[in-house]
Structure 1
Amino acid sequence: MTSDLRPLSVDDAEAAFALRAQAFNIPAGDRDRYLTRFRPDHHLGAFVDDRLIASLAVLPLGQWFGGRSVPMGGLASVAVAPEHRSTGVASRLMRLALSLMRDRGQVISTLYPATNVPYRRLGWELAGARVRRRLPLRTLADLPRPAVQVVAVDLDADLDRVQGVYDRVATMTDGFIDRTGDRWQTILDHLTRHDHTYVYAALEDDGELDGYVAYRHEEPPPDADEFYRLRVIELVAGRGAAATALWRLLAANRGVSATVSWYGGLHEPLSFVVDEQDARIEDDWHWMTRLVDVAGAVAARGYPTDADVTVQLALVDEVAPWNGGRWVLDVRDGKGVLTPGGAGTVRTTVGALAPLYTGLTSPWALARVGLLEAATGDDLRALGRAFAGPSPWMLDFF
């Protein structure tokens, strides 16, 4: 059965929501919000006899790497009607999305996979983390008391200041989303859609915000001896003192709540300032990234200013032929350039390049599993210097 692929129109919004609701068990109460914010230019669909049978969204986002915001297509809500699954229609939509992102200058693409295999076949690869941990609140009680004031925040009045905190931290955090355009409205919708959601900020001596935490109360398990559990939606801080003050604020709930959960990266800095290893991982959902335009992606991100390396690459990309072939990678003065040509000494794929690009893993690890072939020790050290940086993670989910 042949399907027609095309961008969605406003008239397709109801069908798109129904398909998404069926695929992801979205409650009917989300319908009005979805229809109000529906952007047809962000959606592609597959139709059989004018019936929408598959759809996806490509969100125009940016993602921070090496201190620079890289234009990124956020792939979201890949939904297929049950009777059309495993027919290849999702793959066709993804290929169309890939060409669309290239035309729009979105040099990388990131998504949260329900399953890895179909995306991996098309060149996406595990590239960063979003880890939810849970910790007993009593563990936070002995944190030092910093000379930082913590105050309640009115998001309607203080949103610009909260945004400023996030933006400062995001530039230093590989993988964070560059929250421009209407992205903050999406975040606000998420923060305010639940009852018992609270936002507090840490103030510097001059009254400027240096951190904030947004959290909500959740129902505890039936047999739990507590009134509620704490779930941190976001905790963002520029300095250690601000972060400590916000964690202590959460600990103040320990008389009526036993635990707190939050999202972080693979490596949790809080582990180094609490006494015991009491945090437990509840959910570890890695996101996947693809280099849509390898030359554009290399040029878009930042690099260590002391890196001065050249590596000869041979890249295989069976889905996006414009990426394939021999390339010379040059990184110096904090900038990267990928030039066609060269000897093609180090052989790899566009998928394997993604976790190296984001900093999720090292070239040595990729070489050990055969994803960097024929790389010498000098090649591995050069790639390690070029893509050195903090382990990538993000708060946003899409």
Structure 2
Amino acid sequence: MEIRNITPEDFDDVLDVRRRSFGPVPAADREKWRQAALVTVAEGRYLGAFDGSRLAAAARLRRFTQWWHGRPQAMAGVAGVTVNPEDRGRGVGTRIMRAVMDRAVELGDAVSALYPATTPIYRGIGYEHAGARRTVRLPAESLRRIRPSGPVKLRRMGPGDGGEVVSVLHRAHAAARSSGPISYDEHTWNLWLADEDDFLYLADDGYAIYRWKGGDIEVENLVAASPDTLRALWSMVGSASSVARDIVATVAPDDPVLWLLPDRTKEQVTETRWMFRVLDVAAAVGRRGYPAHAACDAVVTVDDPTRGGGTWRLDISGGSGTATPAEGPGVTLSVNGFSALYAGIPPYTLRLSGLMSGDDRHDQALEAAFAARPYMLDYF
């Protein structure tokens, strides 16, 4: 079995593997898929496992920006991991995933995330549960009662506005000190903004993407960095209440719209879990944001059989951190445990689940430094 780059000549075979793994790609979506895949191929972010000339498996690395406590860093989003039915159970999926992680590091990514179709294979190579994409079903009438609080200029957006969306996300997630959300690159955003079935609106410090889905309104993305824009966008979505009964919205766990609702007693919430992995300890620690008041000086050993582990001294203060090679006893974590800690899972939880052991003197400091409530608004 040979691992090599996917080329455009392989696209029909890739779509066939996808069809056998996830079901057919609708004809209307194939061209958009090809356009997005061409960019991934050009960047060396699409890999295939070949048995001779036959494609057995494929996986791609999406180029994302991800925020951790408001600080952006490059993140490898693993997507489209597919294995032909006749090749399953032979270790092909694990092999291509190891190649994907190596390629991500080569391209400069220190962290990676994915939405798992099944947990064991990814947990076995170091990915761990970190956060969720959270959707909530709300009565459309409740959103219509949200009134604009000031003048906000909204305009329709489309292809060519990807750069503005990226700029809004950088400002909004920095201000909110967000952890977990992602942004596509400008080119990919422009592809998504070409969908004629979506309603797309842009403000100076926010945007909304929503559509009809059956008799409901589905809000895929709504981001706002000021109270006026928040109210204006949600009020506009709620104006569909004369026809739509419910709004199904992707929101952050503490999204401010939930505190604007006139009545909030019961909520129908769906969570789609995503997994996270640290690929390069030193780079990942150095690129992450931290609470400004938190301080931590601890020796941490990370056991990573796939990528190679080591021992580091973590020095975190003033909102920044470093990891330098060290020796001596300290905290010991599997790479799954360190990835979970990085994503804000408390040391107490990690110790009880067997992902963390050793010196516990710095547990409280580690918990404060890596505190986070990670979420995503996008599925990939």
TM-score (structure 2 length as normaliser): 0.91
Partner amino acid, structure 2, of 1:173: S
What do the CA deviations read for 1:171-193 (whole angstroms, capped 9, x no partner)? 3321122443523234325xx15
What do the CA deviations read for 1:63-84 (whole angstroms, capped 9, x no partner)? 1113322222111100011111
Does the CA-based 8 Å contact 1:139-1:278 persist in structure 2?
A: no
Tell me, what secondary structure is at the counterpart of 2:185?
coil
Report whether the alignment pairs 1:212 with 2:196. no
Does the CA-based 8 Å contact 1:329-1:337 persist in structure 2?
A: yes
1:158-307 aligned within 5 A: 160-171=163-174, 172-189=177-194, 192=195, 195=197, 197-202=198-203, 209-219=204-214, 228-274=215-261, 275-281=263-269, 283-307=270-294
1:147 Cα shift? 1.7
For residues 99 and 159 of structure 2, the distance between their equivalents in structure 1, rounded to whole angstroms, comes to 39
TM-score (structure 1 length as normaliser): 0.87
Report whether the alignment pairs 1:155 with 2:171. no
For residues 216 and 313 of structure 2, the distance between their equivalents in structure 1, rounded to whole angstroms, comes to 52
Partner amino acid, structure 1, of 2:319: G
Does the CA-based 8 Å contact 2:162-2:190 persist in structure 1?
A: no
What do the CA deviations read for 1:81-123 (whole angstroms, capped 9, x no partner)? 1111121101001111121222222111111111111000000
1:312 is aligned to 299
1:130 Cα shift? 0.5
Query: 2:15 is matched with which residue: 14, 17, 28?
Result: 17
What do the CA deviations read for 1:181-222 (whole angstroms, capped 9, x no partner)? 523234325xx15x3x212345xxxxxx23221211121xxx
For residues 148 and 278 of structure 1, the distance between their equivalents in structure 2, rounded to whole angstroms, comes to 32
1:54 is aligned to 57
Does the CA-based 8 Å contact 2:67-2:181 persist in structure 1?
A: yes
How many residues align? The count is 372
1:148 Cα shift? 3.2
For residues 277 and 117 of structure 1, the distance between their equivalents in structure 2, rounded to whole angstroms, comes to 36
Q: Mean alpha-carbon deviation: is it higher for 303-312 or for 30-39?
A: 30-39
What do the CA deviations read for 1:18-60 (whole angstroms, capped 9, x no partner)? 2123322222333333333433222111112311011100123
Query: Compared with structure 1, are the counterparts of its residues 168 and 178 closer, same or farther at alpha carbon in structure 2 (3 Å cutoff)?
Result: same
1:164 Cα shift? 2.9
2:33 is aligned to 34
What do the CA deviations read for 1:293-316 (whole angstroms, capped 9, x no partner)? 111111111222332211121221
For residues 59 and 333 of structure 1, the distance between their equivalents in structure 2, rounded to whole angstroms, comes to 31
Does the CA-based 8 Å contact 2:66-2:74 persist in structure 1?
A: yes
What do the CA deviations read for 1:255-278 (whole angstroms, capped 9, x no partner)? 211100111233443332322224
Measured on the aligned residues, the alpha-carbon RMSD in Å equals 2.1
Structure 1 gap ranges (5+): 203-208, 220-227
1:158 Cα shift? 5.3
Query: Compared with structure 1, are the counterparts of its residues 61 and 210 closer, same or farther at alpha carbon in structure 2 (3 Å cutoff)?
Result: closer
**Structure 1 residue ranges, 4+ long, deviating more than 6 angstroms after superposition:** none
Report whether the alignment pairs 1:387 with 2:370. yes
Query: Compared with structure 1, are the counterparts of its residues 151 and 295 closer, same or farther at alpha carbon in structure 2 (3 Å cutoff)?
Result: closer
1:235 Cα shift? 0.6
Does the CA-based 8 Å contact 2:134-2:377 persist in structure 1?
A: no
Partner amino acid, structure 1, of 2:120: V
Tell me, what secondary structure is at the counterpart of 2:28?
helix
For residues 61 and 252 of structure 1, the distance between their equivalents in structure 2, rounded to whole angstroms, comes to 33
1:366 Cα shift? 2.0
